[in-house]
Chain A
Amino acid sequence: MTTEEIRAPASHATMADVRVPQERQATLGQRIYRYRFVYLMLVPTFALLLTFNYYPAFMGLYRAFFKWDIGLQPEFLGLGNFEKLFIRDDIFIKSLRHVSLLTSWRVISAVTFPFIVAELIFNLRSNVHKYTYRVLTILPAVVPGIVILLLWQFIYDGTHGLLNAFLEGVGLEDWQQPWLGSPKTALYAVTFMGFPWVGGVTVLIYLAGLQGISDEVIDSSLVDGCSGLRRIFAIDIPLILGQFKLIIVLAVIGGLQGWVAVFVMTAGGPGTASMVPGLWMYNNAFLWNKMGYASAIGMFLFVLIMGLTILNVKFVKTGDY
């Protein structure tokens, strides 16, 4: 299901719709009474959603306008939290720069490396090989995310790390660093972790798109002498723009929400050298109990994610074929 499908009205006529003609004449009250057991089926679902999803969501929006420290009476501030956020909070402004770098790299790497891998797999002649490579590519996605983060922490380790050992091996001792511990490199280390940046899931999405291209198109391009790199740029990429769009949206959202990685790797440090907005929200809420101020950051992230998603869906056009 793509974003288009999410927006599409999901109202196919079911059998029950056309079952009983006289149902049309029934009054609203009668129809509600007739389906009373259906409402009963929805009660547990909505009881949970209202408690654990709707109530916190509206509370988050509401309390963003309050000074709200745990144990104290909430105090209405109007736009005070946002004013402080954008005018007086230097660390927050800095964290915005950091998150733009993180997100940009996520987008750039997600539209290049996994696509190259997908093209390599797609063009293999043997279906057995295709299948093998697909399973191998997806396998790392099964390893728990926390293990991968902790492993990269080890790779960047100043004294025992793999990266420094590699630099020593190729004679670049001068470049050795405590990568996550130095303010100069911490942010870049977090940004560029995950080499070679091939997400198995992303590869699968591209592959699904490539396999959806009809054989006639590919065959006729071959007849016309269009093959290799030229086919990739003239046919494959334009035909799977939908997949690219989806992956860009996912990368943007993932970048803005990806503060858990920063939390595990550096906790935003050293100092605030790798601080990102999500983590700044966490610190305000759970280290300093400033719940209202943190809610304002949460609301800002919500608006930003929504806005960027809508922009992306609207302006990155999908080709019509």
Chain B
Amino acid sequence: MTVLEGQPQPVQRVSLGAGWRRAWRTGDWWRHLGLGGFLFFMFLPFIITIIISFKDIPQFDHYPFTVTFPLHPDNYLEAWRIVSRYILNSIITSGTSVVGMVILAAIAAWAFARYPFPGREFFFFGVLALLMVPGELTLIPAFLLVKDLGLLNTRWVLIAPYIAGGQVFAIFILRQFFEALPGEMFEAARIDGATELQVFRHIGIPLSQSILGVVAIMHVLSTWNDVIWPLVTLRSNELMTLTIGLYAFRTAWYTIWGPLMAGYVIASIPLIILFAFTSRLFVEGLSSGAIKM
């Protein structure tokens, strides 16, 4: 959904000052006041994190929550030395699994959407039923499975199950989208002699870029934030992803608040950058991401 859906009138091109005057006249000012209040408390922890991230220990002891000078940007260097490895690991894990997941899910969803093969609904239900299975049920057997497969403490122990699990919801979303694409276009391409693969690659995929982006971003968000699975399957510090790396960092650096908070800030930056470039997909992805469960 785009931002202005259900709002037929175009965006009003008024200067900010006029906007605020209007806000006063129409009685919107108390709405701004209410929203400002909520937003203040929502952002307060982050603001204080940033303030503390520039403090050394004595500064924190005397004035913990106000800005103190001189600032200590070296906290960030110190935190970067520890956190950068975890960020890299998370990028490798989420990046590899999102590529694999999107490719497999797109192929499977295409098969479900466009070919009336015998057993289609049966197999599709076999995918959908997994939406109902919570991680609590599978955590222990899945752990013992990867242990028997000898995957413990490798990158694959995260990537393979992430690809497998991520497909379920992606196939569900992509099938609906592929089915809604106009069939005449594919028919025309076939008549012109395109093979099934060419139809998929050169027409289907380009038409679906934005929904593929949504599915990909949702997958990155959920794998990036996963705590329990990496916690039980990874032991070595070299392989730790951001979530469990930060957890270990917190335990090791407890009460050295400056670098610790700097580490929290650094850890938040990759997704904020991703958000800045793909905010529209993010808004769509986050709203449908919640619907996932």
A and B from one complex:
yes
Residue numbers of A with Cβ under 8 A of B are: 1-2, 6, 9-12, 14-17, 19, 28, 31-32, 35, 37-39, 41-42, 44-46, 48-49, 51-57, 59-61, 63, 70, 113, 116-117, 120-121, 123-131, 133-148, 150-155, 160, 162, 165, 195-196, 198, 200-202, 204-205, 208, 211-212, 215, 246, 250, 253-254, 257, 260, 263-264, 278, 281-282, 285-286, 291, 294-295, 297-299, 301-302, 305-306
Q: How many residues of B contact A (CB 8 A)?
A: 112
Complex contacts, A211 vs chain B, CB 8 Å: 1, 5-7
Query: B257 contacts A160, CB within 8 Å?
Result: yes
How many A-B pairs with Cβ below 8 Å? 302
Interface hit among B67-75, B160-168, B207-215:
B160-168
A-B residue pairs in contact (CB < 8 Å), sample of 9: A32-B117, A56-B138, A63-B140, A117-B35, A142-B268, A162-B45, A196-B42, A208-B1, A282-B228
Query: A126 contacts B28, CB within 8 Å?
Result: yes
Residue of A with least CB distance to B286:
A201
The listed residue (B7, B232, B264) touching A147 by CB distance below 8 A is: B264
Nearest CB of chain B from residue A309's CB, rounded to whole Å: 8
Query: B130 contacts A49, CB within 8 Å?
Result: yes
Q: How far is the CA of A57 from the CA of B139 in the complex (A)?
A: 9
Query: B164 contacts A53, CB within 8 Å?
Result: yes
Q: How far is the CA of A175 from the CA of B277 in the complex (A)?
A: 45
Q: How far is the CA of A263 from the CA of B244 in the complex (A)?
A: 12
Query: A162 contacts B65, CB within 8 Å?
Result: yes
Complex contacts, B275 vs chain A, CB 8 Å: 139, 142
Residue of A with least CB distance to B291:
A1
Query: A257 contacts B268, CB within 8 Å?
Result: no
Query: B246 contacts A250, CB within 8 Å?
Result: no
Query: A302 contacts B136, CB within 8 Å?
Result: yes
Complex contacts, B107 vs chain A, CB 8 Å: 41, 44-45
Residues from 100 to 145 in B contacting A, C-beta threshold 8 Å: 104-105, 107-108, 110-111, 113-118, 121, 123-124, 126-128, 130-145
Complex contacts, A129 vs chain B, CB 8 Å: 19, 23, 28, 32
Query: B293 contacts A253, CB within 8 Å?
Result: yes
**Most-contacted residue by chain B among A52, A205, A257 (CB, 10 A):** A52
Residues from 189 to 223 in B contacting A, C-beta threshold 8 Å: 196
Q: How far is the CA of A41 from the CA of B48 in the complex (A)?
A: 51
Q: How far is the CA of A131 from the CA of B283 in the complex (A)?
A: 11
Residue of A with least CB distance to B16:
A128
Q: How far is the CA of A5 from the CA of B38 in the complex (A)?
A: 33
**Most-contacted residue by chain B among A10, A131, A196 (CB, 10 A):** A10
Q: Is B252 an interface residue (CB 8 A)?
A: no
**Most-contacted residue by chain B among A56, A264, A291 (CB, 10 A):** A56
Query: A138 contacts B114, CB within 8 Å?
Result: no
Q: How far is the CA of A135 from the CA of B278 in the complex (A)?
A: 12
Given contacts A45-B104, A49-B126, A301-B137, 8 further A-B contacts (CB under 8 A): A1-B288, A14-B115, A39-B117, A52-B165, A117-B35, A121-B31, A140-B43, A204-B287
